[in-house]
Structure 1
Amino acid sequence: MIQSMTGYGKAVCELPNKKISIEIKSLNSKQLDLNTRLPNLYREKEIEVRSLLGKQLSRGKIDLSFYVEAATSDKITKINQQVIANYHAQLKSIATDLGLEQSTDYLKVIMPLPDTVKVELAELDEQEWKAITETLRAAIADIIDFRRREGAALEADIKERIQLIGELLTEVPKYETQRIEKIKTRIRENLEELGQNNKIDENRFEQEIIFYLEKLDVTEEKVRLSNHLEYFMETIDSKEPVGKKLGFITQEIGREINTLGSKANDADLQKIVIRMKDELEKIKEQILNVL
Structure 2
Amino acid sequence: MTGYASEEAHIGPDRITIEVKTLNNRYLELKFRSSPEYSFLEPKILKELKSFFSRGSIEMSLFRETRLDKTSFPSLNTPLISYYFKTLQHLKKKFLLKGDIHVRHLISMPNIWNYKHSFSRELEFKKLFPILQTCFKKVNLMREKEGNALQKMILRDIKRLEKKIIGLSFYKETLSQKHEERLKERMTKLLGEQKLDDQRLCQEIAYLMDKADVGEELQRLSSHLKHFRSVLHEKGAIGKKLDFVIQEMNREINTVGSKIQDLKLTQEVIECKSLLEKMREQVQNVE
Shorter-chain TM-score: what band? 0.7 to 0.9
Give distance in 2, aligned partners of 1:13 and 1:202. 88
One-letter amino acid matched to 1:190: R
One-letter amino acid matched to 1:145: L
Equivalent pair of 2:76/2:112 in contact (CA under 8 Å): yes
2:243 maps to which of 236, 242, 247: 247
Counterpart position of 2:201: 205
The higher-RCO structure (CA 8 Å, 6+ apart) is 1
Number of equivalences: 259
Give distance in 2, aligned partners of 1:82 and 1:135. 36
Q: How far did 1:140 drift? A: 0.4
Counterpart position of 1:181: 177
One-letter amino acid matched to 1:233: R
Give distance in 2, aligned partners of 1:17 and 1:173. 71
2:119 maps to which of 117, 124, 144: 124
Give distance in 2, aligned partners of 1:55 and 1:252. 30
Q: How far did 1:124 drift? A: 2.2
1:158 maps to which of 154, 159, 163: 154
Equivalent pair of 1:8/1:24 in contact (CA under 8 Å): yes
**2:273 aligned with 1:262:** no
One-letter amino acid matched to 2:278: K
2:61 maps to which of 57, 62, 65: 65
Counterpart position of 2:30: 34
Instruction: Say which SS state the counterpart of residue 164 (structure 1) adopts.
Output: helix
> Structure 1 residues 195, 33: closer, same or farther in 2, change over 3 A?
closer
Give distance in 2, aligned partners of 1:208 and 1:130. 78
One-letter amino acid matched to 1:124: F
> Structure 1 residues 20, 269: closer, same or farther in 2, change over 3 A?
same
**2:12 aligned with 1:19:** no
Counterpart position of 2:90: none
Deviations 1:168-190 (A, max 9, x none): 11111321233223223322333
> Structure 1 residues 199, 115: closer, same or farther in 2, change over 3 A?
closer
Instruction: Say which SS state the counterpart of residue 63 (structure 1) adopts.
Output: strand
Q: How far did 1:157 drift? A: 1.1
> Structure 1 residues 47, 238: closer, same or farther in 2, change over 3 A?
same
Instruction: Say which SS state the counterpart of residue 239 (structure 1) adopts.
Output: coil
Equivalent pair of 2:81/2:112 in contact (CA under 8 Å): no
Instruction: Say which SS state the counterpart of residue 74 (structure 2) adopts.
Output: strand
- Identify which range, 138-147 or 21-30, moves more after superposition: 21-30
Q: How far did 1:16 drift? A: 4.2
One-letter amino acid matched to 1:152: N
Q: TM-score, normalised by structure 2?
A: 0.80
2:74 maps to which of 76, 82, 86: 76
Give distance in 1, aligned partners of 2:211 and 2:55. 44
2:222 maps to which of 223, 226, 230: 226
Give distance in 2, aligned partners of 1:82 and 1:286. 57
Give distance in 2, aligned partners of 1:197 and 1:77. 112
Structure with greater Cα Rg: 1
**2:212 aligned with 1:216:** yes
Q: How far did 1:34 drift? A: 1.5
Give distance in 1, aligned partners of 2:78 and 2:270. 79
Q: How far did 1:127 drift? A: 5.0
Counterpart position of 2:99: none
> Structure 1 residues 75, 64: closer, same or farther in 2, change over 3 A?
farther
Deviations 1:22-81 (A, max 9, x none): 111112334332211111122222221111111111232211112434323998323638
One-letter amino acid matched to 1:199: K
Q: How far did 1:285 drift? A: 0.6
Counterpart position of 2:97: none
**2:236 aligned with 1:236:** no
Show structure 2 runs of 5+ residues with no match. Answer: 83-102
Q: TM-score, normalised by structure 1?
A: 0.79
Aligned residues: CA RMSD: 2.8
Equivalent pair of 1:191/1:197 in contact (CA under 8 Å): no
